[in-house]
Amino acid sequence: MITFFLVGLTVHIVFFLSIFDIYFTSPLVHGMPPHATLLPPPASRLILIVADGLRADSLFMPLHNGSSRTPYLRSIIEEKGTWGVSHTRVPTESRPGHVALIAGFYEDVSAVAKGWKENPVEFDSVFNQSRRTWCWGSPDILPMFAKGASGDHVYTHTYPAEEEDFASTDASRLDTWVFTQVKSFFHSAKSNSSLKAYLLEDKNVFFLHLLGIDTNGHAHRPMSQQYLNNIGLVDSGVAEVVSIIEEFFNYDGRTAYVFTSDHGMTNWGSHGAGHPSETLTPLVVWGAGVQTAQRATDPQPYIDEYLQDWKLEEIRRVDVNQGVLPLPYLNNTDHFKAQSMYTNALQVLEQFKIKMSQRKDTTLSFFFTPYHQLDCLDLNHLLKLVRLSFVSHQVSLCQSLISHALEGLVYYHTYDRFFLGCSVVLGFVGWTSYVVLLILKTHASLIRNPSILRQIPNHTLARVFMCLAVAIVAFLLVQKSPMTYYIYCLLPVPVWYSVLKESGTLTDLIHSAPSLPLWKCLSYFLLVALGVELLVVSFFHRAMLTLGLAVLSLWPFVCGIFGRSKLRSLSWFFSCLCLAVFPLMPVMGRESNIHLVLCGGVLTFFTSACFLFSLWQRSVLHPCDRQQFMLHVVVCAYVPFLTHSSLQQKQGLPLLNQIISWTTLASSLLVPLLSSTRLFHRLLSILLSLTATYLLLSTGSEALFPPALSWLMYVWINIEQEAMLAQGVPGRQELSTIDFSANIDISKIRQLKLDDIRRSYFFVFFIITAFFGTGNIASINSFDPTSVYCFLTVFNPFIMGGLMMWKVIIPFIIVMCTFETIQVVTQLSSRSLFLIVLVISDLMALHFFFLVQDYGSWLDIGTSISHYVIVMSMTIFLMLLSVVTHTFTSQRLALWRRPKIHFP
């Protein structure tokens, strides 16, 4: 079992990592010769102001009385500059947004696997190409651009990370700090001759990163007065800074200003997904080389109703997509615009040439298929046309060149994707086939056929696959393929060798077919296939879990269990329906309601009290268990309410509450190990310990999820025993007498039956329900720091992310412990059931691998990839978690002696 576990873990890790080589490789190209427009630029310096987390409607929407909360920027829009909506892409997070703004490309997807705090991939940026850049703002954003810059010409000024406190009485002080520092900087430059000389040079950039709006949005929501007041503070601060800068440079008219945002924010104070409130950000540009405000004489070509809502129908609106040169913003000659587009086209074409030459060098000539739209002759011919065309035609020709070159870059970047995908799918199918054959060989009662034709001779088979491996290695060597390609292409060889070695098991299955109830087998496999499809669809539509739970609620009535145990059947029916409500509710984190957290604590209290009462009637409980029960219920019900009340009163996070929260978290894995290993005693201890931590991390209706899930799990354990009796399986043992730590009697372990496929599917279904039941994936993607306020309020993405991941894992552990119990109750080895679970999970992973797409919107591509990663992570995670939960249920720490009459 350990050998199989290690091999299976290795295979799934390889399959998991393959997605990063296939879809998460860096598209950036290096080594291009630089190209620059020789015409003099209209501006000598750039002032870039990024209001982090600012929504477009929050800036442009006028007040009820018709005035604006941003009078200065409103005057710029109406008189001096050009405005529009910047359409960002997901993930709408700070790092990808700033990379798109400052580096000019969408976030390198390979950065996902390397972290976002620093500069995980080498890229060029406006800061790097400037003569000097001065930055003020957050310590999370500025270092990523300073670290990758060549030389020492990027100067950063940041406040301490501790200042990013979501419980702060006034997060707008972060923006006030930036404005104060900028004003002090220019004031000191007047008396510092060397600094003044630097500032008077051209190609300087000044970057103001304003985090106060984002922090207030997370803490108080975008509709709060704190968020809206912060926008007004930014407006007045921008006006002051512009006045000081213009005065310093003697109003020379050579300064360009850009005011925008990296991303927006949802009404519930989060960002990271693709909601319009997150992807629509404001853009206001004015100053040197920028087109002044123009009146719109004709209806503007926008189908949305923002112009009417914002009272800006008469001012020309120019929307932009990040990374595309917005010519309507430029106030210059047509010749300058054409030359700028021509230079841009040359830069993109140089990337295309390098990418194409790299592909030719690593691909055999008879395998190489060039991009059909462009080759070297076409490029040279098109460049000649650009140079010879009239100025009015140059822009359109350059745009065509850029479009084709970008498509060519994508073509060569994804050149090996189909080849690698086929290798991974071949390995996937081989591994799943091997697991199925292993199940049939070791855990099924098949008629053994001693025929000598049952399998191919091992030595012949080994020689064939050895020759195949040598041929694959030779091909990859000629192709100059990376080392990881050898792993993906060679892995199917030993996997399929193992499958063909077990061909005798397939022969046994064929000979056993006449003795099997074929109609029952086919119906089971059909139901499982439909069930797997339902789980796949549930990744896109959470309501499918509600449909699945509604169908599962009828299981006792269909299978005849209702006649044997009406109470348990009705309990199963109602518990399924109660849990079915959660997928229909909004994802957790959108609306805080601490009263529901209190209800979750109360529900846990009464559910556990009823359960304890039934246990007291059967056996004796040690007083320590009662104290533990009361402690956890009090903590989970009281601390979140007191913490949020304190934060609402601007009193910060109480130290005592913080100590209790961290102590509860630290003890959540230790306390169950101190309780009895009797089945229900240990399960209750696990539930109470984990629920206490879960409630500390809850903000609303998700607090009701653990008790509802635990109720269904409790009924599932009891009703599986009834199902065993209905099938005529002897040897029933009273559940209250089962001990997790007792050695399993090998003689009582039975072979697999068809109903065990149903049990394994139930487990996978409940795991998916535990993951998506409260919208946990949305809470990770669109992080809401409110959930961790009982533990900390100072911004720390790694600790906060770790706490949220633990919150996601807690329902997993509850389901895993239940499945461990069912293995004991049904007298089945954990290996056999887990192998069936592995097959179901791998079928889902293979399905999602086919759903991965490299076309459409970034959101569609990213969603398809993330689904595959989630399922593969779940498969690997369940393999590891099964070992953890076995220890969690069967091991016990004896810190004190107890009389033997209480527990074994």
* pLDDT reported for residue 207: 97
CATH architecture of 46-331: 3-Layer(aba) Sandwich (3.40)
In this prediction, residues 162-175 reach a mean pLDDT of 79
CA–CA separation, 267 and 264 (whole Å):
10
pLDDT at 626 over 50: no
Bridge partners of residue 256, in order along the sequence: 46, 287
pTM assigned to the model:
0.72
CA–CA separation, 178 and 234 (whole Å):
10
pLDDT at 904 over 60: no
* pLDDT reported for residue 620: 46
pLDDT at 30 over 60: yes
Residues 6+ apart with CB under 8 A from 604: 633, 636, 687, 688, 691, 695, 706, 707
Indicate the domain borders of the chain: 1-19+416-515, 46-331, 520-890
Looking at the chain, the whole-number percentage of residues with pLDDT higher than 90 is 26
* pLDDT reported for residue 777: 47
| Range with the poorest average pLDDT among 291-300, 498-507, 536-545, 800-809 | 498-507
Residues 6+ apart with CB under 8 A from 678: 619, 736, 737, 738, 739, 740, 903, 904
By DSSP bridging, strand 132-137 and strand 320-321 are unpaired
CA–CA separation, 509 and 868 (whole Å):
32
* pLDDT reported for residue 389: 63
In one letter, which amino acid is 856? G
pLDDT tens profile 240-252: 999 999 999 999 9
- In this predicted model, which residue has the larger pLDDT, 329 or 370? 329
Residue 623 — pLDDT band, cuts 50, 70, 90? very low
In this prediction, residues 712-719 reach a mean pLDDT of 90
With beta carbons less than 8 A apart as the criterion, state whether 230 and 212 touch. Answer: yes
pLDDT tens profile 628-675: 555 566 666 678 888 888 877 777 788 888 888 898 888 888 878 877
| Range with the poorest average pLDDT among 5-9, 163-167, 389-393, 597-601 | 389-393
pLDDT tens profile 410-457: 888 888 888 888 899 999 899 999 888 888 887 666 655 555 444 556
| Range with the poorest average pLDDT among 28-42, 139-153, 209-223 | 139-153
CA–CA separation, 65 and 494 (whole Å):
74
With beta carbons less than 8 A apart as the criterion, state whether 329 and 82 touch. Answer: yes
List b or e across 495-521, with b for residues whose CB sees 16 or more CB atoms inside 10 angstroms: bbbbbbbbebbbbbbeebeeeeeeeee
* pLDDT reported for residue 524: 75
pLDDT at 878 over 60: yes
Q: Which residue has 């910060």 as its token pair?
A: 652
In one letter, which amino acid is 647? L
With beta carbons less than 8 A apart as the criterion, state whether 405 and 349 touch. Answer: yes
With beta carbons less than 8 A apart as the criterion, state whether 177 and 157 touch. Answer: no
* pLDDT reported for residue 903: 37
Looking at the chain, the whole-number percentage of residues with pLDDT higher than 70 is 82
| Range with the poorest average pLDDT among 65-69, 211-215, 786-790 | 786-790
- In this predicted model, which residue has the larger pLDDT, 178 or 278? 178
Residue 78 — pLDDT band, cuts 50, 70, 90? very high
Find which of 201-210, 438-447, 635-644, 849-858 is predicted with most confidence, using mean pLDDT.
Answer: 201-210
* pLDDT reported for residue 616: 62
In this prediction, residues 276-296 reach a mean pLDDT of 93
CA–CA separation, 350 and 797 (whole Å):
38
* pLDDT reported for residue 503: 75
| Range with the poorest average pLDDT among 88-97, 239-248, 727-736 | 727-736
Count the helix, strand and coil residues of the chain and give each as a percent rounded to the nearest 5: 60, 5, 30
With beta carbons less than 8 A apart as the criterion, state whether 570 and 561 touch. Answer: no
pLDDT at 317 over 90: yes
In this prediction, residues 377-403 reach a mean pLDDT of 69
Residue 222 — pLDDT band, cuts 50, 70, 90? very high
Question: By three-state DSSP, how is residue 200 classified?
Answer: coil
| Range with the poorest average pLDDT among 71-80, 578-587, 668-677 | 668-677
pLDDT at 627 over 50: no
- In this predicted model, which residue has the larger pLDDT, 685 or 43? 43
Find which of 491-500, 608-617, 679-688 is predicted with most confidence, using mean pLDDT.
Answer: 491-500
Q: Which residue has 């008396």 as its token pair?
A: 191
pLDDT at 476 over 80: yes
* pLDDT reported for residue 375: 54
pLDDT at 779 over 50: no
With beta carbons less than 8 A apart as the criterion, state whether 56 and 346 touch. Answer: no
pLDDT at 164 over 60: yes
Residues 6+ apart with CB under 8 A from 849: 421, 424, 425, 428, 868
